[in-house]
Structure 1
Amino acid sequence: MRLYRIGPARWLPVLNGRGASFEEGGRWNEPGDPVLYLGTSVSVAMLEMGNYLPSPRLVPASYRIGIFEVPDDAIDRWTLADLPDDWSHYPHPASTRTLGSAWLRANRNLVLLLPSCAVPGGLEDIAVINPLHPRRDEVILIDATRQAIYNTRAFQGV
């Protein structure tokens, strides 16, 4: 399966999961639990990044789109039916942090697909990667050179 991550070019190949969500926690992890968050499409990765930038015109020049491959047999999937009612609330609820960290610590699989909060109704997914899983070396960065993240015509009124 192909996955996508947007961030500073120098950090795209670093797969230790010790970024901001490691320090502060994220929707699917408690602080101190390493994790990587990726999109199942470039557009989902762009929308997810939009949660952290006030305008797409403010994407730092160092950012690139990282394209990754993961083995299809290393993926778990949770649907809306598997999630608590508050799964998409902000700030991130304790319920999702607890569930995600339990999945990470159980170390059953490399990738967990989950509905994206950036796309309503669970219509698109994100991927959570467990960097402590024994198959982590099977996460392959195949391209990190694409710099144009948003089309210059997009969000002209922003």
Structure 2
Amino acid sequence: MTTLVTLGAVALSVLAGSNVQAKDTYSAPQREALGAVDALFAAMAKHDVDASRRLILPGATFVVVLPDGAVKIEPDTGYLDTLGKHKEAFRERIWDAQVTVQGNLAQVWAPYDFHLDGKLSHCGIDSFSLVRGSDGWRIAGISYTVQKAGCAPSPLGSLR
């Protein structure tokens, strides 16, 4: 079993109590795609660049829509460099995910909140594009909005 599949299996085993709300209505492929997203969040929380690299396709892009409407595009290498340099505690959570899977392509769209050192930093919408290969689901791109004010309370409750 590859490392990526193992990470996905671990993520699926903790899915219900972690960053992503599990729903009985998700199909197995949808749960697997969500597992890859959850594994990325777990790697981010640990600042684990190697695990993140295994979950992100080389050349993936990160598109950020800032509060003023400006758009920032960053390559996967920029994300990985930032992840390795920062030491603050990161915690990102999504809920009510809409997951679409067609063959080896998946899209996950969900509201999120992001906590920095245990405090809410911002919220918004995450949109993940995923591709399934022989080594499992991998992130092909992430787009997200950043909202600094007016974040509604998460249905996941406060951080513990």
When the two structures are superposed, what TM-score results if normalisation uses the length of structure 2?
A: 0.31
Relative to its length, the structure with more strand (as a share) is: 2
